[in-house]
Structure 1
Amino acid sequence: MVLTAPSPKIRRSATKVALVVGSVLNLINQGAAILGPADISWVHVALNFFVPFCVSSYSAARN
């Protein structure tokens, strides 16, 4: 698994998943900040993209 995780195919696929899922998560979790005067938590924004990337990479590398 460690040897296949850095493969370009897995990274590309995981990036696509992270962009879609992370965007939806950010709209849900940061909606008030995006649409209103609340402050955006940039740490949470980053985590909303990083976690789906890791899960997708791990899942692809396992198979």
Structure 2
Amino acid sequence: MKRNLKEFGASLVNPNYAPIGVKVAIVVGSILFIINHGTTLIKGKMNQERWISATISYLVPYMVCVYGQHTSSAKHKSDES
């Protein structure tokens, strides 16, 4: 379990996974941002808590995408051996 977490942590900055993760984060994160914070942003009522939540709206899709890539890659490597 500990090894898997370390591998996943390393995969978050893996240059093979990051480009797709960033693209997914921009698209999905922007959709989530608009849904969850669009009205508040337009009204000029964003506060620190909202900005933290908005940041998470981008981080979660990135992490999910990288996790999927990491899991798929690990599965393919185990299938090859």
Indicate the TM-score class for this superposition, using the shorter chain for normalisation.
Answer: 0.7 to 0.9
Matched residue count: 63
Query: What is the TM-score of this pair, normalised by structure 2?
Result: 0.67
Say if 2:51 is the partner of 1:42: yes
TM-score (norm 1): 0.84
Q: CA RMSD in A?
A: 1.9
Q: Deviations over 1:9-60 (max 9, x none)?
A: 2111101000100000000000211222432411011100000000000001
Q: Where does structure 1 lack aligned partners over 5 or more consecutive residues?
A: none
Q: Which moved more, 1:5-14 or 1:42-51?
A: 5-14
1:7 aligned partner: 14
Q: 2:39 maps to which residue? A: 32
> What SS does structure 2 have at the residue aligned with 1:30?
helix
Greater Rg, structure 1 or structure 2? 2
Q: Which has the higher helix share?
A: 2
Gaps in structure 2 of 5+ consecutive residues: 73-81
Q: Which residue of structure 2 lines up, in the alignment, with residue 62 of structure 1?
A: 71
